[in-house]
């Protein structure tokens, strides 16, 4: 075997004294594990996309598969038209009819509840709507959504099942859609239903912890299922995942994709949250922006969209990485003579706070990606592109990113069965999309961005700032005090500027490029 390895260095400038953590990811192309399920989708969300062609195209390009909604005649029509697998949350519609969840008490009048169900099911069928599942009640562990007792919950399921069987026995029910995995609750719940000869088509729960915990929970449930054949053979649905603290961080999305695919569940869709803030607008992504992939304008992609799209484009045989660090991971797709890899490092929440003290040195690392047993011929030349999906600070996470940042696009000479790609200075929260013989994630036909200002993060900052300039023209950067005194003048400063020698205060960054575009941004130096 030829021992020489292909080594691609992305960045030519490194620190003389390297204090970064050292991490390795390995993709063994012989370790395939089936095809991708594309376990991503939406909760609630848009009814206005029909009038927004760019947003519709973004959704189609992302290859999202699942949509859990609570409006049978708006979202469901849209989801059906786009070919989604869908579920309707019965309790949300019932609560809306009753004036809120605190008044949604079917046990006080099951006759009225049964009449509501009959009308809902009949109207859905009459309007040619085709939800794949009916989700009986959302998060019954939480008093926000359920104020009855456990026995009343089982009675609600019994009544729902009876009306379903009387109108359309082939309709499928899913539950209990609890707020977190609870083995005792699920076992008691399924035993109680089985005692009444009710067998759910899918068992569901929500995941708002670490992506790493998902595999443990799924394995625990599969063991339960194997030991309790009286429950039937339900699918496993993770019908909300991704907590608010990390929902807008690209690398965390990659972590979820990795563990959802590893767990081989049957259904998964994102959660939604009400804390979106781009520094100007605040909004609820349960209503606008499809759970955080789009901006407040419902058309411009946010950074995490590109992680979703990269995942959605993976159409070949699936490979999950191994490596030195459990939260530095990658997923890969082998497709004929092409290879796509999506990486992520997820250690901190959106405020930059590390979840574990042991990860205190993980803010930045030098990562080595090793690809073995690749499908490319020896002594061939392949095209390779590497795109960065930055996390940035909390404002950046909620601001449009018209395309990922292309950090390399060129040729790769294959001289052995091993390819090494070095990713020095890999920031926590970022994701990299590496494609060999595949197109870039963004194209002109996909995104038509409005004129954009430069992005600067973090802001406030202590030392380094990272700059993303959205145009290809050469540009200069000047730094002024608010009184107008110039204290810095840099030609073509690149992606990073060191402000460690500047006193604390508020400053004005002034950008000017060769095409006469100019921008002014305030920055706080701590």
55-84 pLDDT, tens digit each: 999 999 999 999 999 876 778 888 998 999
396 and 250 within one domain: no
Q: What is the DSSP letter of 319?
A: E
Specify if 251 maps to a domain: yes
Specify if 176 maps to a domain: yes
364 and 236 within one domain: no
Give CA–CA dist 466/388, Å, rounded: 13
381 and 359 within one domain: yes
CATH number at residue 96: 3.20.20.80
263 and 344 within one domain: no
Identify the residue whose tokens are 């004129």.
451
* Residue 362 · residue 396 · CB < 8 Å: no
Which of 259, 210, 251, 279 has the alpha carbon at shortest distance from 362? Answer: 251
Cα distances from 403 to residues 363, 389, 427, in angstroms, run 24, 8, 18
The helix (run of H) or strand (run of E) holding residue 190 is: helix 183-194
417 and 465 within one domain: no
The alpha carbon torsion through 248, 254, 255, 257 (nearest 10 deg) reads: 110
135 and 267 within one domain: yes
Q: Which of 437, 471, 495 is the C-terminal boundary of a domain?
A: 437
Give CA–CA dist 350/394, Å, rounded: 6
Cα distances from 278 to residues 284, 299, 309, 376, in angstroms, run 12, 15, 22, 43
187 and 67 within one domain: yes
* Residue 213 · residue 239 · CB < 8 Å: no
306 and 323 within one domain: no
Give CA–CA dist 216/286, Å, rounded: 28
- Strands of the sheet containing 6-9, edge to edge, are 6-9, 418-427, 364-372, 21-28, 322-323
Which of 468, 474, 462 has the alpha carbon at shortest distance from 496? Answer: 468
* Residue 467 · residue 488 · CB < 8 Å: no
Instruction: Read off φ and ψ for residue 158, nearest 5 degrees.
Output: -60, -45
Which of 283, 281, 263 has the alpha carbon at shortest distance from 273? Answer: 283
pLDDT tens for the chain, 526 residues long, are: 333 344 454 443 333 335 677 999 999 999 999 999 999 999 997 767 878 899 999 999 999 999 999 876 778 888 998 999 999 999 999 999 999 999 999 999 999 999 999 999 999 999 999 899 999 999 999 999 999 999 999 999 999 999 999 999 999 999 999 999 999 999 999 999 999 999 999 999 999 999 999 999 999 999 999 999 999 999 999 999 999 999 999 999 999 999 999 999 999 999 999 999 988 899 999 999 999 999 989 899 999 999 999 999 999 999 999 999 999 999 999 998 899 999 999 999 998 999 999 999 999 999 999 999 999 999 999 999 999 999 998 999 999 999 999 999 999 999 999 999 999 999 999 999 999 999 889 853 444 444 467 877 777 777 888 888 877 778 888 888 876 788 888 887 878 888 888 888 888 888 888 777 778 777 777 7
For residue 175, what are the β-bridge partners? 203
Cα distances from 255 to residues 8, 17, 30, 86, 303, in angstroms, run 25, 30, 22, 24, 15
Identify the residue whose tokens are 């990811």.
25
Assign residue 11 a region: left if phi > 0, alpha if psi is -120 to 50, beta otherwise?
beta
66 and 138 within one domain: yes
Specify if 120 maps to a domain: no
Q: Which of 406, 437, 468 is the C-terminal boundary of a domain?
A: 437
Specify if 416 maps to a domain: yes
Specify if 501 maps to a domain: yes
Instruction: Read off φ and ψ for residue 245, nearest 5 degrees.
Output: -70, -20
The parent domain of residue 240 ranges over 37-109+129-165+172-314
Specify if 293 maps to a domain: yes
Specify if 22 maps to a domain: no
Q: What is the DSSP letter of 289?
A: S
459 and 430 within one domain: no
Give CA–CA dist 276/284, Å, rounded: 6
Number of independent structural domains in the chain = 3
Which tokens is 87 given? 């579920």
293 and 251 within one domain: yes
The helix/strand/coil state of 406 is strand
- H-helix segments, 70-167: 75-81, 90-98, 110-126, 150-167
Which tokens is 59 given? 């959704």
Which of 343, 398, 335 has the alpha carbon at shortest distance from 36? Answer: 335
Instruction: Read off φ and ψ for residue 342, nearest 5 degrees.
Output: -120, 120
Question: Helix, strand, coil % (nearest 5) of the chain?
Answer: 25, 30, 40
Cα atoms found within 13 Å of the Cα of residue 195, Cβ hemisphere only: 9
429 and 462 within one domain: no
- H-helix segments, 235-328: 250-263, 303-312
Q: Which of 314, 349, 381 is the C-terminal boundary of a domain?
A: 314
Radius of gyration of the chain, Cα coordinates, nearest whole angstrom: 25
């Amino acid at each position: 075997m030829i021992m020489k390895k292909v080594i691609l260095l992305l960045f030519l400038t490194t620190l003389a004294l390297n204090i970064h953590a050292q991490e390795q990811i390995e993709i063994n192309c012989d370790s395939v594990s089936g095809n991708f399920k594309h376990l991503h989708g939406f909760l609630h969300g848009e009814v206005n996309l029909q009038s927004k062609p760019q947003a519709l195209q973004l959704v189609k390009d992302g290859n999202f598969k699942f949509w859990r909604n609570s409006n049978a005649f708006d979202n469901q029509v849209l989801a059906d038209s786009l070919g989604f697998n869908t579920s309707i949350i019965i309790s949300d519609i019932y609560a809306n009819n009753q004036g809120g969840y605190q008044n949604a008490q079917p046990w006080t009048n099951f006759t009225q509840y049964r009449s509501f169900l009959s009308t809902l099911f009949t109207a859905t069928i009459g309007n040619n709507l085709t939800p794949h599942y009916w989700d009986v009640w959302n998060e019954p562990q939480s008093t926000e959504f359920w104020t009855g007792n456990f026995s009343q919950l089982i009675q609600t399921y019994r009544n729902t099942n009876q009306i379903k069987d009387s109108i359309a026995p082939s309709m499928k029910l899913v539950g209990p859609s609890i707020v977190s995995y609870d083995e005792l609750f699920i076992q008691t719940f399924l035993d109680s239903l089985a005692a009444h000869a009710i067998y759910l088509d899918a068992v569901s729960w929500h995941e708002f912890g670490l992506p790493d915990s998902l595999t443990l929970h799924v394995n625990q449930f599969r063991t339960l299922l194997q030991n309790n054949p009286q429950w039937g053979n339900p699918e496993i649905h993770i019908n909300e995942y991704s907590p608010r603290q990390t929902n807008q961080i690209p690398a965390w999305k990659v972590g979820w994709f990795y563990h959802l695919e590893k767990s081989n569940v049957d259904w998964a869709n994102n959660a939604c949250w009400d804390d979106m803030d781009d520094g100007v607008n605040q909004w609820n992504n349960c209503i606008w922006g499809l759970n955080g992939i789009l901006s407040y304008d419902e058309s411009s992609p946010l950074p995490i969209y590109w992680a979703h799209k990269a995942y959605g484009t993976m159409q070949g045989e699936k490979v999950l990485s191994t490596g030195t660090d459990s939260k530095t991971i990658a997923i890969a797709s082998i497709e004929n003579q092409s290879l796509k890899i999506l990486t992520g490092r997820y250690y901190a929440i959106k405020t930059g706070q590390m979840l574990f003290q042991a990860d205190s040195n993980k803010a930045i690392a030098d990562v080595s990606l090793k690809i073995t047993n690749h499908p490319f011929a020896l002594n061939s030349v392949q095209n390779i592109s590497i795109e960065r999906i930055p996390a940035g600070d909390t404002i950046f996470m909620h601001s449009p990113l018209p395309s990922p940042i292309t950090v390399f696009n060129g040729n790769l000479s294959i001289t052995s069965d091993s390819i090494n790609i070095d990713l020095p200075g890999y920031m926590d929260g970022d994701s990299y999309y590496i494609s060999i013989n595949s197109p870039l994630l963004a194209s002109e036909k996909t995104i038509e961005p409005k004129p954009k200002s430069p992005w600067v993060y973090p802001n406030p900052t202590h030392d380094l700032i990272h700059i993303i300039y959205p145009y290809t023209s050469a540009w200069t950067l000047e730094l002024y005090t608010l009184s107008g005194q110039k204290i810095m003048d840099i030609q073509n400063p690149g992606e990073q500027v060191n402000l460690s020698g500047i006193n604390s205060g508020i400053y004005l960054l002034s950008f000017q490029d060769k095409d006469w575009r100019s921008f002014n941004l305030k920055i706080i130096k701590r």
